[in-house]
Amino acid sequence: MKTRPAICNRKKRFATREAAEEVAARAPFKLRVYKCSLCRRFHLTSRTKGMKLPPRDPGGSGCA
């Protein structure tokens, strides 16, 4: 994942993955830890857009 400098500067930085994961675990929502290629530290992101969800079956198939 490419991180823009502006985003990097705005985000909180963690020196270690452990520190970032600890904060992520306390958050009321799901956060992911990733290593930033700009500052070489760790950031948290709530984005899940990159994750693929199984497509919904619109037709309700399987009804015999």
Residue 23 sits in the site that holds Zn ion (CB under 5 A)? no
Q: Which of 27, 38, 46, 47 binds Zn ion (CB under 5 A)?
A: 38
Please pick, from the candidates 23, 35, 36, 45, the single residue that binds Zn ion as defined by CB under 5 A.
36
Selected range binding Zn ion among 3-11, 20-28, 49-57, rule: CB under 5 A:
3-11
Q: Closest CB to Zn ion among 12 and 18?
A: 12
- Which stretches of 4-54 are DSSP H helices? 5-10, 17-26
Give me the helices (H) in 11-58, please: 17-26
Cα(50)–Cα(17) distance, rounded to whole angstroms?
A: 20
